[in-house]
């Protein structure tokens, strides 16, 4: 197993971040509250963001589309 540490302060691996993403943590903040990653030096936040941005979170797209969803509703009305 190759262990890629995303957050070395808390020893959080990319695998763990993905796991949290699967469990619904779609933002670095949510990952932070799940496993503390990013709450110390903060240098890993961008890496966490990058992992989340790769679509590891199935719900992320919906979150990203907050505005489009609203305007889609407008169009439907
Ligand atoms: S590397 Fe994640 S908080 Fe420092």
Structural domain range at position 55: 5-76
**pLDDT for 36:** 97
Tally the domains of the chain. 1
Gap between the Cα atoms of 77 and 44, Å rounded: 43
Identify the burial level of 44 via C-beta atoms within 10 angstroms of its C-beta, where 0-12 means exposed, 13-18 middle and 19 or more buried.
buried
**pLDDT for 69:** 43
Does residue 42's CB lie within 6 angstroms of at least one atom of ligand 1? yes
pLDDT beyond 90 at 7: yes
Q: What is the pLDDT of residues 31-61, one digit of tens each?
A: 999 999 999 999 999 999 998 886 655 555 5
Does residue 23's CB lie within 6 angstroms of at least one atom of ligand 1? no
- Span from the CA of 31 to the centroid of ligand 1 (angstroms): 12
Taking the complete model, does pTM exceed 0.75, yes or no?
Answer: no
Does residue 40's CB lie within 6 angstroms of at least one atom of ligand 1? yes
The tokens for 41 are: 């030096």
Does residue 44's CB lie within 6 angstroms of at least one atom of ligand 1? yes
pLDDT beyond 50 at 71: no
User: CA of 67: how far to CAs of 32, 64, 71, 73, 75, in Å?
Assistant: 25, 8, 6, 10, 12
Evaluate whether 44 touches 9 at the Cβ level (below 8 Å).
yes
Look up the CATH number of the domain holding residue 16: 1.10.10.1100
Atom of ligand 1 nearest to the CA of 12: 2
């Amino acid at each position: 197993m190759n262990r890629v540490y995303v957050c070395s302060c808390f020893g959080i691996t990319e695998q763990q971040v993905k796991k949290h993403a699967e469990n619904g943590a779609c933002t670095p903040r949510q990952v932070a509250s799940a496993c503390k990653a990013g709450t110390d030096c903060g240098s890993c936040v961008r890496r966490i963001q990058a992992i989340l941005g790769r679509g590891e979170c199935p719900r992320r797209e919906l979150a990203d589309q907050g505005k489009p969803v609203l305007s889609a509703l407008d169009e439907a009305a």
